Amino acid sequence: MALLPQFLEELRRRISIVDVVGRRVRLNRRGTQATGLCPFHNEKSPSFHVYEGPDEPHYHCFGCGAHGDVITFVMETEGLQFRDAVEKLAGEAGLEIPRDNPEARARAERQDTLAGVMELAARFFESQLGGSAGRAGLEYFKGRGLNAETIKRFRLGFAPEGFEVLKAKLAKENIPEALSIEAGLLVKHEDTGRIYDRFRGRVMFPIMDAKGRVIAFGGRALGDEKPKYLNSPETPLFHKGRTLYNLNQAQKPARDRNEIVVVEGYMDVIALAEGGFPHAVAPLGTALTEDHIELLWRFAQEPILCFDGDAAGQKAAARAVERVLPVLKPGLSLRFAYLPQGQDPDDLLRGPSSGGGRGGTGGGGTAAMRQVLEQALPLVQVFWQEVLAGRALDTPERRSGFRRDLLAAVGRIADRGVQEDYRRDMLARLDQMFAAPRSAIAPRPAPGGPRFGRFPQARQPGMPFQHLEGGGEAARRGIAGVKKLPYEVLLMGVINHPDLLHRHGEAVALIPIPDRQLDKLKGALLDLATRHPDLDANDFKNHLMDLGFSGAIETLVRHTGKIRFALPSAGQAQAEAGLLHVMAILRETEMEVELEAAARALEEDMSQENLDRFQAAQQQKLDAESRRRDLDLADFDPLFKN
């Protein structure tokens, strides 16, 4: 629902951002500014600033780049949607949220009414569990080891046998049948038109939204009735692909620990909460969706997905990998924890050495569960294993097919920077897997056979990717002074001509920079260009300095002062030609690395596959050099001088 800009301005004016932030961050206040340790990343010295002036009160972290206003802060720290954050702050400010139009007003009122009906049903199910009709349900929960406090905290209940028990209760409360059907509590038979209770003879698990409102139910059969678990249908309140069970209780401990655990079902969540893991949630009768993943990232950068150690668990992990690849972002991923074969979280927490309790050590108990979570595998490892699973790699054709499928899967990652890092990681793993041991290296061909000269030494398999010290024109001229200068020229050029980022930002983003400080500066300027596309060069540079890059920019100015196209005085065409040329040089460096790896592979195994790879790398290198020679080199000579 759209909200009037005037209302949002009034809300920001009435609410003190320093007061709101100060509830979670210990701030040192000076006038209209305050500083403290950033709540969004771990740091030892404060780089988090809060500004409360008359113009655009906001917060900004010079360490991780977190930025926003008071509404953003509440959304990020409390895991709320925009509307919910506004409602929370409006309540504190004593403001009534305006309704844009009659339709929006009616929709909001309908949701409030449905939420009231769901609350009535939840209370009814709770009361039934404590009475004679719910004795079987109470025995079930006690048999699962739940105490009265846990039953109350999760608002567990029981839907009694009978087709019209809840229906009669709702009618007594003057709830129209149509409203109860819309809420998913009653069902209308298509053929007979009979209206009856959806949930019968089941223990009941209320499903709540992030604010703690009951929006749906899950019911578990106590006998052999199918389905074993029955969830509410989709309603105006409940969307199962965007809802996680127990998020209302898990969000604070998850944020405090920077860890959130995803398990398969209601009882897994409750068992973990009782065992000292209150930051557990579960999807609701569906595989993890992209919306679920985005929601989880609000509470932890690497949520842990905890699966059973059986075939079903492996399939669930594979589905999660498929879902997360397209939405991966820098710094955000998943981890995968696997339980011992045949055990769920409840089994593990009650392991044999825990004496039936949940605080033991060794084979079961809290310590065993913590060990499972600590041994969670990173996404990249699970991704590699999923593509590799069941593959025979005993021939060049099969290895080539594996390489093709692996890189095609990497191509599903939408973020180009993350995709490029995955591609490098996979190529390094391939090199390591297919590298023959030195004792098994085939002898060099006899005189008269194919000759490839002396191959350069490639990086060792499994070692992190690093750029070569020199390449391109520097390699041909035998000059070693190129090193960091092309990267510095690249950055200085786009800082002085930020318009270039609107045409070539994606290409710049894909250039990996081996120097950590320069790479951090690249990320900052790309982010700044995205958020503020209308800044001129002076404002662009000033913003970067405000972000803490003054020293880095001074160094760039000092090192690149003789590169004409990177200067502020350069014309747009000259600056663009220079940028393209520098990127071509750096792409050549990338190709040098691939050529070295291909040469090394061919030296160790004279297979047709490796020969094809080597020749392709040679051709790519020659093509890149040819394209670059088409540019005028006169303006770029300083790049290759000490």
CATH number, domain containing residue 248? 3.40.1360.10
Q: Is the pTM of this model over 0.85?
A: no
> In this predicted structure, what is the pLDDT of residue 468?
29
> In this predicted structure, what is the pLDDT of residue 149?
94
Q: How far apart are CA 635 and CA 642, in angstroms?
A: 16
Banded pLDDT at 412 (limits 50, 70, 90): very high
- 616 lies in a domain? yes
- 254 lies in a domain? yes
Read off the pLDDT of residues 307-354 as tens digits, 9 standing for 90 and up: 887 778 888 888 999 999 999 988 889 999 999 888 888 888 887 644
Q: Domain ends where: 42, 69, 93?
A: 93
- Comparing 101-105, 360-364, 580-584, which segment has the lowest mean pLDDT? 360-364
User: Do 81 and 127 have their domain in common?
Assistant: no
- 462 lies in a domain? no
User: Do 197 and 268 have their domain in common?
Assistant: no
- 203 lies in a domain? yes
Read off the pLDDT of residues 284-297 as tens digits, 9 standing for 90 and up: 978 899 989 988 98
Higher pLDDT, 107 or 632: 107
User: Do 139 and 229 have their domain in common?
Assistant: yes
User: What is the number of structural domains in the chain?
Assistant: 5
User: Do 591 and 610 have their domain in common?
Assistant: yes
Residue 638 has pLDDT above 50, yes or no: no
Domain that includes residue 420, residue range:
390-434
User: Do 481 and 594 have their domain in common?
Assistant: yes
User: Do 415 and 529 have their domain in common?
Assistant: no
Radius of gyration from C-alpha coordinates of the chain: 30
Question: Which residues fall within 8 angstroms of residue 209, CB to CB, at 6 or more apart?
Answer: 215, 237, 243, 247, 248
User: Do 546 and 600 have their domain in common?
Assistant: yes
Contacts 24+ apart (CB under 8 A), 562-571: 562/638, 563/489, 563/492, 563/493, 563/635, 563/636, 563/638, 563/639, 564/635, 565/493, 565/635, 565/636, 566/489, 566/492, 566/493, 566/496, 567/496, 568/496, 568/497, 568/537, 570/496, 570/497
Torsion of CA 185, 190, 195, 197, to 10 degrees: -40
Q: How far apart are CA 249 and CA 209, in angstroms?
A: 10
Nearest to 40 by CA among 61, 23, 68, 20: 61
Pair of tokens at residue 391: 């593959």
Banded pLDDT at 624 (limits 50, 70, 90): low
- 443 lies in a domain? no
Q: Domain ends where: 418, 434, 450?
A: 434
- 565 lies in a domain? yes
